[in-house]
Structure 1
Amino acid sequence: MAAETRVWLVERTYSDDEQNLIILTYATPDGRQDFRKERALTSFSGDHRETPVSLTVPADNLGVVDDPDTRERYETEATRMAAEYDADDAL
């Protein structure tokens, strides 16, 4: 079994290819690794799904953040989220 790593929500974007798809990006506190999760948006007004502020994922599912500016931005945001929220909180 692969080791697991805690990641924090750092970015939410809409997919350019799919109109009803949101991409959630989570990153390690040092900003060096990320995990992306896609979620379809429904058109039902009553559909309210919470977004976890943090996830624990297998370390081998993490990508590498090569861009230094992105890495710094992810580190700043992951650190802020970890300080502001408990790991089990949701938005």
Structure 2
Amino acid sequence: MTDDRDGVRVWLVERTYSDDEQNLIILVYATLDGTRYYRKERALTSATDERPTTAAVTVEPTNLGSVDDPALRTQYATEASRMADEHDPDDDV
């Protein structure tokens, strides 16, 4: 986990489409240890809407939630570590 004055680096661990609303993509990023997460919602405005999703983002610590479920924490840690091993933070994924 990178935690400094510029924020905390979190890695993409989950990408889902909302069942409740059309054209809403939910991106979940997590710290390497899986203990904290950042959720980002993105509305697609058209079929040609192309906005890159990066392997990692840096966010303010106050924007992070806590992962309390041990199984989910392990899942997020595994996926965040895999992303960090396979991608640079600015890679489009």
What TM-score do the two structures reach when normalised by structure 1?
0.91
Long gaps (5+) in structure 1: none
Amino acid at match of 2:25: I
Q: Which residue of 2 aligns with 1:42?
A: 45
Cα distance per residue 1:3-48 (max 9 Å; x no partner): 410000000011122121010000000000000000012332x322
Map residues 1-91 of structure 1 onto 2, 5 A cutoff: 3=5, 4-44=7-47, 46-91=48-93
Distance, in Å, in 2 between the alignment partners of 1:36 and 1:82 is 18
Backbone CA RMSD of aligned residues: 1.4
Long gaps (5+) in structure 2: none
**In structure 2, the residue corresponding to 1:52 is in which secondary structure?**
coil
Instruction: Count residues with an aligned counterpart.
Output: 89
Structure 1 consecutive aligned stretches of length 4 or more whose deviation exceeds 6 Å: none
What TM-score do the two structures reach when normalised by structure 2?
0.89
Distance, in Å, in 2 between the alignment partners of 1:65 and 1:16 is 22
More displaced 10-residue stretch of structure 1: 67-76 or 12-21: 12-21
